[in-house]
Chains A and B, each alone.
Chain A
């Protein structure tokens, strides 16, 4: 292992321990299990031929939502806390580059998201098994894509928290998530021949910029395919992973630029 990897791993491990020992994380875990269990209850209310569909759909939705909530909450809080509580005063004078500190924070949160995903997935699979819903390999791929989406949102949250207050960082990160989930809709509107985006040049420019800058998070949602039995290929998952990595690097580079200039008065 190179020295940089050792340093990033040390920060990542510490970030993971901090999150794991945080009561808020335990609360999120309880909420996660509660939501997955509620999918079982909801499926019981559905028509008998729709029960498995509801179980799969709502379960995946719940896991994706909670992963993003964890990503935003921890992504925003953990960096801000270091600045607010001045623990960075102890870390930054050590032989570690500032971008390595951010990379370590990010890697630690990826670990947290992975553990949270495994726990929620276990509860989800248990709920599927209880209703005799067959496990499909594409479900695992769908979960991997959920994790990627959360990773991307985490990188955005860390970027925002490198210069903004937690509330503002949370709002911005949520904005990235909500816009990202609707980029495909904007693309459809831009491709259309009717509507305000055709006649209003300003609105069209804004929409085009939004589509260009914001990540298209619908790439990470394959719940429909899983439900309908449409195969999700590894090439698709691989492309999504590259897309996620590209945006993580983009937000990471921006965060590093801001953080490198930051002073700790």
Chain B
């Protein structure tokens, strides 16, 4: 498959301003993003995600390695014309109105005035800023500014959209709208590469992910590959009755997670689920469900950040190497 992004052996080192200490922000990272994919880029703060993204959009040069975006170099003008980019915590010319800002950027993309007049209002409506298009951006809330950022990233109807923390600052409704927007981009054949700390959103959207930690790639693959193998644990969801004992005291339960008032998830080893069920029923709990416990993306990222890595990564996924 023709790849939208190819990163091979990417290394980025820089020196701190005062002490000139060498910092290895990214260490030999390799991955490929296929065209039409939604690709999640994950890792804790300081993992090297934003540095890698800056390399992809030409703001930073790699110290070593090869980076190809849409078949060309990141600073190639032809590539830039087909690229949309939302930086992390974007800053705008806040003295401008969103229409004025998009007009400036539209001119940079070589859009004619007539085209800008046609496209910009539609785009602002699409990101939910139609009613605020004539207000200065400095008067916008953080969430509204994030929407302006998303609008400018989509202005040129790009083939590849790179979004650094697109959900940042958005309320649940705004988050939902951005999720829908990203999904609609995929439906139109666009490639979306995004980083996010909101792992539930990544789980919902991403076809494949890369997990980075301290500049090193820890894992990459599709979500079923990384999460789908399940674990050797079972989760039993219980509803407590008045006078029910502490579910953690049930024999065989290794830990308990509260889901909502009166509803808990008891985790136990796979071989102990029958005794746990029997003890729970005897103690007056109602059993809501029993299921094989699957690792969540959050657990996967946390386990890599903790340095241990998961107990077992899916068969197709890779740990610490390129996919």
Q: List chain A positions with a Cβ less than 8 A from chain B.
A: 3, 6-7, 9-11, 13-14, 17-18, 21-22, 85-97, 263-265
Contact = CB atoms under 8 A, between A and B. Distances in A.
Contacts of B93: 14, 18, 87
Tell me which of A14, A85, A91 has the highest count of chain B C-beta atoms within 10 A of its own C-beta: A14
Contacts of B91: 85-87, 89-90
Contact of B107 (A7, A18, A90, A263): A7
Interface string B47-80: 0000100100111110000000000000001001
B110 A3 contact: yes
Contacts, number: 78
A93 B109 CA distance: 11
Which 3 pairs across A and B sit closest by C-beta, in order of nearness? A10-B107, A95-B80, A93-B57
A262 to B, nearest CB: 10
A264 B83 CA distance: 18
A177 to B, nearest CB: 28
Interface residues of B, number: 29
Contacts of A7: 107-108, 110
B60 A263 contact: yes
Nearest to A101: B108
Nearest to A92: B59
Contacts of A97: 77
Given A17-B95, A263-B59, A265-B14, A94 B90 contact: no
A2 to B, nearest CB: 10
Contact of B95 (A10, A18, A86, A263): A18
A10 B96 CA distance: 13
Contact of B51 (A6, A21, A94, A265): A265
A14 B97 CA distance: 12
Nearest to B87: A89
5 contacts: A7-B108, A90-B105, A90-B152, A94-B105, A263-B61
B321 to A, nearest CB: 26
A21 B77 contact: no
A96 B108 contact: yes
Nearest to A14: B104
Contacts of A263: 14, 59-61
A96 B75 CA distance: 9
B81 interface: yes
A265 B26 CA distance: 12
